[in-house]
Amino acid sequence: MITREPVYTDAPANVIDGFWRASVLVLGNIGRAGRMTAQSLVMLPLLFASRRSRGELARQMYVTGIKSLPLITIVGMFTGMILGLQVGLELRRYNQEIYIGSAVMVSLLREMGPFMTGIILAACVGSSMAAQIGTMTVNDEVAALEIMSISPVRFLMTPRMAAMVLMTPILSFYTCVLGVIGGGVVGLTQLNVPWNQYIDTAMDIAKCFDLYVGLLKALVFGIVITGVSCYQGFTTTQGAVGVGRATRQSVITSILLILVLGYVITRLFYDL
């Protein structure tokens, strides 16, 4: 069962008591959100059991992937252009601007590609998930599913989780490709670096391992965004005000987790 009613308690006696209660509340939310995310991941194979589930998956993939392409295209291109310009200006001070391709490629594959993709999806798709499910929760539609013995996690969350798992790595790779193209455009037009030389240096330095780590980050970010957004939606209270609060909280929490998990994954896979 998904608990939606707020729990009323007495006011904290002092600062330490308030900090303790806040810590317990945060840990409880993390545990419940983690359990809900795990349940959704376990139920992923069930999506292919019926035509309706496959149709819902296709619709969520369209919302997550195709409708996000215009924004991701612009952000990916200009991310690469900004990286190329800033890195190229510094390298030109040492007459090493020919290596701009390697700097842009490695930065995008390891960090900036999945990071920018995660930020965009958290702001666009994650907020939409939280608002949609939150509206259904305050209108008692989720409660109606439970009364009919239909799991809200399976019915609402699992198709969204599957769509994010499938589309986030693809969108991250797409962002990296556009970023490399944008960096090459800046290198060619602003730094006089030939396109062939730019691509050669980029391919010489970059490794498949960098691509795999970046795709793993994107996959983790997609799971986290869906888990946080759906949990915020399922625990929404207090009507329209609560929907707005849940939407805002889902975006803030997702971005913070993307930053923290991005650092943790990088630290695990790359030695100092």
Q: Please give the chain's pLDDT, 272 residues, in tens.
A: 454 555 556 666 677 766 777 777 778 888 888 899 998 999 888 887 778 888 889 999 999 989 999 999 999 999 999 999 988 888 888 888 888 888 899 999 989 999 999 999 999 999 999 999 999 999 988 888 888 888 889 889 999 999 999 999 999 999 999 999 999 999 888 888 889 988 888 888 888 899 999 999 999 999 999 999 999 999 988 888 889 999 999 999 999 999 999 999 999 988 75
Tokens of 218: 């994107």
* Alpha helices (H) along the chain: 15-42, 51-64, 69-92, 100-107, 113-121, 127-138, 141-147, 152, 158-190, 195-205, 208-234, 239-269
Asked if the structure places residue 74 within a domain, the reply is yes
Asked if the structure places residue 210 within a domain, the reply is yes
Asked if the structure places residue 5 within a domain, the reply is no
CB 116 within 8 A of CB 75: yes
> Which residues constitute the domain of residue 186?
15-269
The total number of structural domains in the chain stands at 1
Asked if the structure places residue 47 within a domain, the reply is yes
Residues near 130 by beta carbon (within 8 Å), at least 6 away in sequence: 229, 230, 232, 233, 236, 243, 246, 247, 249, 250, 251
Tokens of 85: 């310009």
pLDDT score recorded for residue 3: 47
CB 160 within 8 A of CB 99: no
CB 254 within 8 A of CB 228: yes
The three-class DSSP label of residue 109 is helix
